[in-house]
């Protein structure tokens, strides 16, 4: 008898360890999740999962050797208040990557919900600014009118990160619209706008 009683706790322990390794096998809610290990054959699944995270949409511009350049980006994020740093990431496969990665300065435009055309235009190409009048910003980057906010940045650092470069900028000048307007949002591959949740008391 003694050897069997000694075995029981060992079995329980192994079972517990198994569950610890695979938590989604324990929780019936999480069982509904479609889980996968990201690898080169699962990029569509990874894109779809990342697309669950809604973002704003920005237009990044820079004055380059080939003239003014723009690119639609949703990877924009704030990083630090002191010093004021922001980042965005540029795909290394993009024809525009090298020009942005080597630019000394750039401007981030936060697009409004009415600026889907701007987002589509600068997703398709980067050199044609003819539909949108621009000023030269304080650090030389082309600056569009009518955006929700603009952040004029000096390039602070560029870090290679897989198939993208993380481009960090130090904000040297910023501007915002005086009135509240909806921003352009991007989620699951589509554009939209913010809808307040009346159940969430603030
Ligand atoms: C909503 C949206 C967000 C995007 N965000 C990024 C981004 O953060 N980084 C990036 O490199 N490209 C991003 N793109 C793709 C570029 O805007 C552009 O389509 C791409 O650079 C085209 O390739 P090319 O530069 O070789 O012409 C985004 C496109 C859209 C429509």
Q: Going by C-beta distance under 8 Å and a sequence separation of 6 or more, which residues neighbour residue 70?
A: 59, 60, 61, 122, 126, 127, 129, 142
Q: Which of 91, 109, 160 to mutate to test the pocket of ligand 1 (most atoms within 8 A of CB)?
A: 91
Residues with CB under 6 A from ligand 1: 57, 71-75, 88-91, 94-96, 119, 123, 186
Cβ–Cβ < 8 Å for 174, 136: no
Residue 30's pLDDT is 57
C-alpha of residue 122 to centroid of ligand 1, in Å: 8
Q: Which of 61, 72, 96, 184 to mutate to test the pocket of ligand 1 (most atoms within 8 A of CB)?
A: 72
Residue 145's pLDDT is 94
Domain ranges of the chain: 2-50, 55-180
Burial class of residue 168 in the structure, from the number of CB atoms within 10 Å of its CB (0-12 exposed, 13-18 middle, 19+ buried): middle
Q: Which CATH number, 3.40.50.1370, 3.30.70.360, 2.30.110.10, 3.30.70.890, labels domain 55-180?
A: 2.30.110.10
Q: Tens-digit pLDDT profile for the chain (202 aa)?
A: 333 333 333 343 434 444 444 554 555 555 788 899 999 999 999 999 999 999 999 999 999 988 999 999 999 999 999 999 999 999 999 999 999 999 999 999 999 999 999 999 999 999 999 999 999 999 999 999 999 999 999 999 999 999 999 999 999 999 999 988 999 999 999 999 999 899 987 6
Residue 32's pLDDT is 84
C-alpha of residue 5 to centroid of ligand 1, in Å: 63
Question: How far, in Å, CA of 58 to CA of 72, rounded?
Answer: 6
Q: The tokens of 190 are what?
A: 């589509």
Residue 3's pLDDT is 39
Cβ–Cβ < 8 Å for 167, 86: no
- Residue 2, classed as helix, strand or coil, is helix
Burial class of residue 109 in the structure, from the number of CB atoms within 10 Å of its CB (0-12 exposed, 13-18 middle, 19+ buried): buried
Q: The tokens of 136 are what?
A: 């030269």
Question: How far, in Å, CA of 158 to CA of 168, rounded?
Answer: 6
């Amino acid at each position: 008898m003694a050897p069997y009683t000694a075995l029981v706790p060992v079995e329980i322990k192994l079972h517990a360890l198994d569950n610890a390794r695979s938590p989604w096998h324990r929780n019936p809610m999480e069982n509904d999740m479609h889980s996968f290990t990201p690898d080169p054959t699962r990029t569509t699944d990874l894109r779809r999962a990342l697309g669950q995270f809604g973002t704003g949409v920005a237009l990044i511009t820079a004055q380059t050797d080939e003239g003014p350049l723009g690119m639609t980006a949703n990877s924009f994020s704030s990083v630090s208040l002191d010093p004021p740093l922001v980042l965005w990431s540029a795909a290394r496969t993009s024809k525009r990557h090298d020009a942005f990665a080597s630019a000394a300065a750039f401007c981030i435009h936060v697009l409004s919900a009415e600026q889907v055309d701007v987002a589509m235009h600068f997703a398709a190409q980067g050199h044609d600014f003819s539909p949108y009048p621009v000023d030269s910003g304080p650090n030389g980057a082309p600056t569009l009118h009518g955006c929700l906010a603009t952040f004029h940045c000096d390039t602070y650092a560029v870090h290679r990160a897989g198939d993208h470069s993380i481009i960090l900028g130090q904000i040297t000048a910023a501007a915002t619209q005086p009135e509240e307007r909806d921003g352009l949002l991007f989620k699951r591959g589509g554009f939209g706008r913010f809808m307040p949740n009346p159940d969430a008391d603030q």
